[in-house]
Amino acid sequence: MTASRQPTNHPSYFIEGDTVIWSHNDRPLWAKDGSPLPIAHPQAFRCIDGRWFTDGEHVIVQAQQGSAAVWYYFYRIENADIATFEVLNERYARDARQAYFITGKTIRTRSPQAFRPLVYQDWRWPENGPLEPVTCMHDYYAVDAESAYFNGKRVIGADGATVVGLPGNYIADAGHAYYFGQRIEADRASLVVAPSGDGPLRMTDKIGPIEDGQRMTALDHRQVEHWREFFTALPALQDYWWHRLQAPAAPATPATPATPAQEVEYGGHRLTGLDPATFAAREMPVGHGLMGVFCGDAHGIHWLHWYADGPCELTLLSSRPISSLETLGDGYLSDGVTVFYAPNHYQTPQALRKVDPAGFTVLQGSWARDASRAFHRGKAKKGVNPDALRIAGCYAWDDAQLFCDDKPLKVAVPHDTLQVPHPGFLLAGDQLFFGRRPVSAKRVHLPTLEFLDADFARDRKHAYIIGYVNLVAIDGADPASFRVLENGRAADAVREYDAAALKEASAPATD
């Protein structure tokens, strides 16, 4: 520390003249835009608690953007009541008038005196002995007399007067449960969260288990067995889904035929919770030309995820019957009510929000549209006009934006003049692109360049193989007499050329 620096009540902050210094990078405090942060009374600067500070007139907060690559900055809360300001945890604070979240959000609570982070009961596993209950504080959930909050935002529909905290980013009020601030399908009256012996916490209601906020409506037989220890440890729970699966089928009588067990077998796996009478499994195309497996019954559609060694996993996609599922093309599917995008055979398909299947059209190259938006691989493309969208090869553009394989590409000519002479090449005025990379006009004579087919091209100087990385001149080929014979083969006046061999010979070297 230099002689002129005065310490504060925080070991990482110092006062040097009229400046407050953060020793993390030894510079004065700065605002989000990088400019110096105004401090009304530098000599009064002190830490209230954690990342919350004051200069005697304002509350000053040390904030950040990102988590892996972090950008730190500071901001002032202009109208906080310093006399009643109270830090509740690293992310929440309050004063007599309102509450605050660490990102700079002011929470207009009607009951600031009741505003507090939520606590919940968890368990810890000591090295020896039984499980021990512990009380924990949620990092991101808070509550007041009227509402609950997640990351400083009001949880829609949550009743603050009855909200309780649960482990694993769940909360519940008198009527509903919520996961990461979103209401989930759950029977609140029978909802229970508890450890399984010395294993992980589990959540379930009488209808079925819940994992990552989603109800698991069908399980591999081995997954059902994994719940045995849970229900054995909690004998007070009765008539849950697990108990009903253990009950033997009712004996057949002349008046009442035998009830089949609610279990089917597919691919060597016994799947529990599906109706055998209406069960169906369908292998359907997903993204990148792959195939995925969907199964279900009259009551729901499930995505079947295989593991290399162990049970399969069923994820409920829709309560619609499996017979309603149809492919729309390029990884897009619909159950008649919702459109899904399945990127490949191992990632769970995702529902597209606010999309009406009746007005949804799959275009090409994983592009699609509805009445007002364009989509690429299931993601809405902000600002793209679907009525003006053109797609050719790996390129797509409207009047304002140009994309190559979904990444923006800037060109210096009007978009209505763009041409795609080959699926991997774009002609923008007097500039040629291979993918996103410009092709040197010194190497290729653009005025005479012509693409002969998917594999060969020529200009006045050279014949080319369309290689893995660009146009590659074919040594010794005569462009004047060069022609395509058939798919994958070409010739000039002297000899013939094989496209596969030329591509392999011109491929970049690999280790």
Q: Each residue of 54-97: pLDDT tens digit?
A: 999 999 999 988 766 678 999 999 889 999 999 999 999 999 99
- Mean pLDDT value across residues 447-472: 95
Q: What is the pTM of this model?
A: 0.60
Question: Could you give the 3-state DSSP secondary structure of residue 189?
Answer: helix
- Mean pLDDT value across residues 333-337: 96
Q: In the prediction, which pLDDT does 85 show?
A: 96
Taking all residues of the chain, what is their mean pLDDT, rounded to a whole number?
90
Percent of the residues in the chain that have a pLDDT greater than 90, as a whole number:
71
Q: In the prediction, which pLDDT does 511 show?
A: 52
pLDDT at 230 over 50: yes
- Euclidean distance between CA atoms 33 and 47, whole angstroms: 23
Q: In the prediction, which pLDDT does 251 show?
A: 47
- Mean pLDDT value across residues 257-284: 78
Q: Which domain holds residue 480?
A: 415-506
Q: In the prediction, which pLDDT does 156 show?
A: 95
Q: In the prediction, which pLDDT does 249 show?
A: 44
- What does the buried/exposed string (b/e) look like for 30-44 if buried means 16 or more CB atoms within 10 Å of the residue's CB? eeeeeeebebeebee
Q: In the prediction, which pLDDT does 277 show?
A: 92
Query: Is residue 179, in this structure, part of any structural domain at all?
Result: no
- Mean pLDDT value across residues 142-171: 95
Number of domains in the chain: 2
- Mean pLDDT value across residues 44-52: 95
pLDDT at 200 over 90: no
Evaluate whether 361 touches 354 at the Cβ level (below 8 Å): no
Evaluate whether 101 touches 91 at the Cβ level (below 8 Å): yes
Query: Is residue 450, in this structure, part of any structural domain at all?
Result: yes
- Mean pLDDT value across residues 327-354: 94
In the listed set 85, 112, 139, which residue is the last one of a domain according to the structure?
112
Q: In the prediction, which pLDDT does 146 show?
A: 96
Query: Is residue 189, in this structure, part of any structural domain at all?
Result: no
Query: Is residue 228, in this structure, part of any structural domain at all?
Result: no
pLDDT at 260 over 50: no
Query: Is residue 206, in this structure, part of any structural domain at all?
Result: no
- Mean pLDDT value across residues 278-285: 94
Query: Is residue 251, in this structure, part of any structural domain at all?
Result: no
Rounded to the nearest angstrom, the gap between the alpha carbon of residue 48 and the centroid of all alpha carbons in its chain is 36
pLDDT at 457 over 90: yes
Q: What is the pLDDT of residues 100-123, one digit of tens each?
A: 999 899 999 999 999 999 999 988
pLDDT band at 252 (very low <50, low <70, confident <90, very high): very low
pLDDT at 2 over 60: no
- Euclidean distance between CA atoms 237 and 64, whole angstroms: 45
Evaluate whether 39 touches 29 at the Cβ level (below 8 Å): yes
Rounded to the nearest angstrom, the gap between the alpha carbon of residue 228 and the centroid of all alpha carbons in its chain is 33
Q: In the prediction, which pLDDT does 256 show?
A: 43
- Structural Rg of the chain based on CA atoms: 32
Query: Is residue 130, in this structure, part of any structural domain at all?
Result: no
Residue 326 or 309, more confident: 326
Query: Is residue 395, in this structure, part of any structural domain at all?
Result: no
Q: In the prediction, which pLDDT does 310 show?
A: 62
pLDDT at 262 over 80: no
Evaluate whether 279 touches 295 at the Cβ level (below 8 Å): yes
